[in-house]
Amino acid sequence: MKRRVWTRNWPWKLASLAIAILAWMTFSGARELSMSVSVPLQYRSLPPDLDISSDMVEQVHLSLRGSANRLSRINPASMPIVIDLRGISSAGEHTFTVNEENLRLPAGVTVERVIPSQIRVQLEVRKRATVPVQVRFTAPPAGPVEVVPATLEIVGPESRVDRIRRVATDPIDTETLRSKGQVRTEAFSGDPQVRFEGSSEILVKMSENPSKDN
């Protein structure tokens, strides 16, 4: 008897269950939710004679609101905030406000909060300088060494370039240098906003002893 109760009009009961599940899914997907994400910050169209000297903000935190369906489709890596530096012609401080105009959000998704809501960029005149290369060793070498090249050209914001008197190499193992006669290594500027104009590779080799006349 109980079995007949459950099986009676089973197509209608199955259809009612499907409708109930569909209604629940629709309601769950349509209700408003909040979500926090971190998105990358990009700087574009930097004038050719200027460089950013301030510490660069690389991420912005967003509080977003929208339906569960729309929020689930958001990929933070594919929606960077762009700071457009086009049109700036002078050094100094420049402030940019971050809002929905800087974002590419799906329809129906809004921004509740942005942290930080403003980005201040310090621009300086771009400067180039030639500095000597300081070779570092794990132990003093047995004889004189030759450094090729002995100097490198660096470029970056004027104040940061002025603070660099020399660039140092990664430490060179003295035993490896002695056995091989030469070692290739890299120079390091020490400032993330100062870069090398060209390669930073350095060749260090043992100098040949000059021949002595008998």
Residue whose entry in the numeric block shows the structure tokens 């899914």: 25
Residue 212 placed within a domain = no
| pLDDT at position 110 | 85
Residue 20 placed within a domain = no
Domain boundary among 103, 125, 147: 125
Write out pLDDT tens, residues 177-209: 999 999 999 999 999 999 999 999 999 999 875
Identify whether residues 89 and 165 lie together within a single domain. no
Identify whether residues 40 and 74 lie together within a single domain. yes
Identify whether residues 80 and 117 lie together within a single domain. yes
Identify whether residues 107 and 131 lie together within a single domain. no
CA atoms 104, 109, 114, 118: torsion sign:
positive
Share of the chain above pLDDT 70, in %: 83
Write out pLDDT tens, residues 166-184: 999 999 999 999 999 999 9
| pLDDT at position 69 | 82
Q: Domain residues for 66?
A: 31-125
Identify whether residues 57 and 134 lie together within a single domain. no
Structure confidence at residue 18 as a pLDDT band (50, 70, 90): low
Residues 6 or more apart whose CB falls under 8 angstroms from that of 63 comprise 34, 35, 36, 111, 112, 113, 114
- What is the distance between the alpha carbons of residues 54 and 191, in angstroms, rounded to a whole number? 12
Average pLDDT, the chain: 85
Secondary structure (DSSP) of 29-77: HHSEEEEEEEEEEEEE---TTEEE-SPPP-EEEEEEEEEHHHHHT--GG
| pLDDT at position 9 | 58
Identify whether residues 108 and 193 lie together within a single domain. no
Domain boundary among 125, 155, 185: 125
Identify whether residues 86 and 167 lie together within a single domain. no
Residues 6 or more apart whose CB falls under 8 angstroms from that of 10 comprise none
Identify whether residues 145 and 90 lie together within a single domain. no
Mean pLDDT, range 26-30, rounded to an integer: 50
Write out pLDDT tens, residues 72-121: 888 888 888 889 998 898 999 999 998 877 787 877 888 889 999 999 99
Write out pLDDT tens, residues 147-170: 999 999 999 999 999 999 999 999
Structure confidence at residue 213 as a pLDDT band (50, 70, 90): very low
Tell me the two tokens of residue 186.
């890299």
| pLDDT top residue among 146 and 8 | 146
Domain boundary among 125, 141, 162: 125
Residue 117 placed within a domain = yes
Residue 13 placed within a domain = no
Identify whether residues 140 and 182 lie together within a single domain. yes
